[in-house]
Structure 1
Amino acid sequence: MEKTSSYNRILVFAFATLFLISGILSAQVLEKPTTVWTAACASASFNSFDVSFRWNPPLVDSDNEFVLELSDANGNFGSPTELVRLDDKNNDFNFDFTFSVPNNVRGENYKLRVRSTSPAKTSPATDSYPMHFFNFSSPLLISQDGSGNIPSGGTIQACGGGSVTLAPHNIPNASTYSYNWYRSGTLLSEKSESITVNSTGMYYVELDYGSVCSGSANTLSNTIEISNGSSLGIALNGSSDVSLCPGDSHVLEANVSGMGLNYTWYKDGSVISGPTVDANTFSIDTSISGFEGNYEVEIDGASACLERSAPVTIRSLGNFEVTRQNEENIVLLPSQTKTLTTTTTATTPTYQWFKDGSPITDATNSTLEINETGVYFARVTENGGGCSASPLDSEKTTIVSPDSFEFVVDYVGSYTSCQNTDVTLSLSAINAVSGSSAKTDVTTELQSSFSYQWSHNNSNVNGETSKTITISNFENNGTYKLDGVLDGFNASSNNLTVTLSTNKVLEITANGTVLCEGADPIVFNSSESLGDETFEWLKDGSTIDSSSESITATDVGVYQLIINTHDCPIISNEVTIRTFDESLLSLDKPQELIIIEGETETVTASGAESYQWFDANNNLLGTQDFYNFELEGEFLLVANFGNCTSNKVITVTYRDTFSIPNVITANGDGINDLWVLPNTYSRNQDVVITIYDERGRQVFSQSNYENNWPQSTTSFNKQNMVFYYKVTKGGESLKQGTITVIQ
């Protein structure tokens, strides 16, 4: 910078710089959105919220749209949600957005921001807000195990110090919510849809819609009292496994009776009777279809805790099933045996195996070893109980000789094309294939019997004769297959394509990232030579150049380079070019700085890449992001954003040491005619000066007071008058007192 002895020169330099980049420094400023609400608690019946927004001229482009965006639950805008888009506010500098909370929003730290599309700018984000959409906003109902059975009186006794699980039973998709569980008014740590407890107390729950919204959702549940009780050892008398014929009579009886207890009977976990007082027996109706199952009884009452018996299994002798346990089609290898298996629910079964429709001598077990082709099944007869039923045949099994074999090969572990730098391929299955194309997995039996050979692009790979192969060089990309030989059988696998990354790191660099008028152009270069490569320069995902080894950025956007010479593209880092904005440079202190003589005040700048601090004589004072001011004067900060520059003039004055005067002589002689305040209070936009007459009427009020009262037009109806003043900042009173005006 050229040095000069005059402060006027430094101002000329500053204004010249401002003029050169005036199109940038006068850019629009989007202010931080504001709200009158502190939390957004939304539901299907109420979901409308207003956000106030201001922006400063110049005007935006005619095709501009203002977009209100919502962060994620942690306040991050990596993938913002668009709430509202307005295209009719381009001449309105102060307006409101009205939006609805999306029905998947639940969290305590959401933020809002506003984005303009032309020019592309983004406002500061709001402070964090709790936001919750009430997908469920009715009182919860809780019961033991979420069964829906709320005990009479709302009390459950935990037997013998055991535990009880409580859960809501009237909310869909219960596991997708967070909950607040309480015991006798104390919030517990459990947040899931169920809670298992063994401590006495009054338990209830509500949906956790955050610190503000939970109470307004109206989801507080009924209360269940957990008390301690002693186990009576409830059980069902007799055998735990009973077989009955249709029409047989059978009564289940509990071992506890005559105590005035409630009895609830269950079949396969569902209530079939009760709760009924003293109903300690239950008659099974065997005349209806499906009477078989597992039966239990549950008791509760004043003299007993809630307790359920072990199940008793009831079977139907006249109704049984036969199930084949092996594959429907099996390929039988030479000199190989296979085992066929069938199971049944019959109580006392007998078996007879058949081959090709004829019974097999002495084949009367549930399993059968075979070594011949054919069609097999087992016939099962029920021989127990007082009722009879027709024999049942199992499903048929077809045994055939192999016509051929096939290999199945697959990638070992995780593999992604153009991401892995190495990969291992391996044999995963050997299938024996019959003439009808039926397949049988014979991997275990034959994987050690085959001879193997890997091929690459239809050519054998020397030395690769095992079940696996590892490829670790991208130059060996291509198609791989495994072949094998066994006793005259030739087997081949499916093809696997291997496309490994080149493992090269491609980096693009630029001599700046901020675009401004009058500055040097921003030029991109690549870390790799592009002379023999096929490549694409991209901006915002679209190709802009495929022939130049370096490019010049003329527009804002995200730039990237892709080299396509190899099987896998090499993708560079992204570099974002943005438009220069005066708001990028900020100071933590006002530019009109008042300091106490003899003390030091530090001003810190932020947002730029480098800084230079100059005094009024253009002397360089420092190059850090801060400077310690201890003298009066005019100073210049020059901040660099790559190729762009922004300046700020800082005026430093000593704080006045005189007190607020309480007497002025407004007689026009030029001496003490005006009420002059110390610079701590005058010319400060945040400080308001208010003056009242002797009757308490306001006669003057001004922020950024310029020591200009009384004004020339002010008239006084007395020679000596007393006024009252108040000095406030942000609504807080700093000083107050009287002013006597003598004429």
Structure 2
Amino acid sequence: MLLVLGSVVSYGQQKICLGAIKTYKVDELENSGNGTIGSTYTWKVVENTFVGNIIPDRSSGNIITINWENTPIGIYTLQVTETNSCGMSTQEMTVTITQNLKVDLEPIHYFCPDFKTMSIKAPSGYDDYKWFDENNIEVGDTDTLEISKPGKYRLEVKSGECTASAETDVVQVEFPTFMISTDLDNSIIIVNSGGNTDVYYQLESENGKIIFPWQDSNTFRNVASGKYIVRVKSKKGSCLTNFEAEAMIIPNVITPNNDGINDLWDLNKFLKDYPNSVVEIFDRFGKKVKTISQADNFKWDGRIAGKPVPTDNY
């Protein structure tokens, strides 16, 4: 009588995971799979901490299925006794129940706008790896998965008889839309809207010198006049983008009284390289009183409908 696990000879040892369901056989090549003619087979797990079910698959009992269910972690002795006219004989094997496998995988990975591909790395130490996409198509079989598009991915790992799985959602990072604003103290202010990530900002000179290192604030204050590079890093996935900005010292007074001094607010020299710029002027109550653009050559004479605006802060 030879005790086997499935169709593989056990040689007396087996490791399984908590709650495993396994098939065990003896004399399966005899009597059309029913064991030795005239023999009956009795199975038991010796230890009283066994709390599973033994289910016969043949009336003779030579093939069974054991659902180990909630049997605790530990070492168990599985015995099968064959009884026939010649007497009784017993075989046994040791079954070790181990903790179920777990695999930790970041639930979200971020696919940056400039990526053509990206890698997802699984923890090391497993015997086998398989990756599947959201259509359940196998897309990888190592601990590192190379992907070329966002989506849902599932990892299945195996060590010995134990398996575990985890999923991750690969999300395309969308940067906000950025608009540059300046104010009278020579600040560069980045106004953003939309997107699916918060960002950090860094200000550099045109030749790459860092003026302000990475910061949460969208404002760089008291910046010398000139052109700059604003670098942006997403808080989700550390994706990068950049754009140009310029700090300007804008004249802050207009006195339209025809005395030849500050009669005209002239922004043309500041905005000639930015033909799509729009300048909006508000009174101190927040009411918009004037809009100037390239159509006005970015100039304003301080008048509305031919009359000077009242002396005030704007």
Q: TM-score, normalising length from structure 2? A: 0.49
Higher RCO (CA 8 Å, separation ≥ 6 residues): 2
Q: TM-score, normalising length from structure 1? A: 0.24
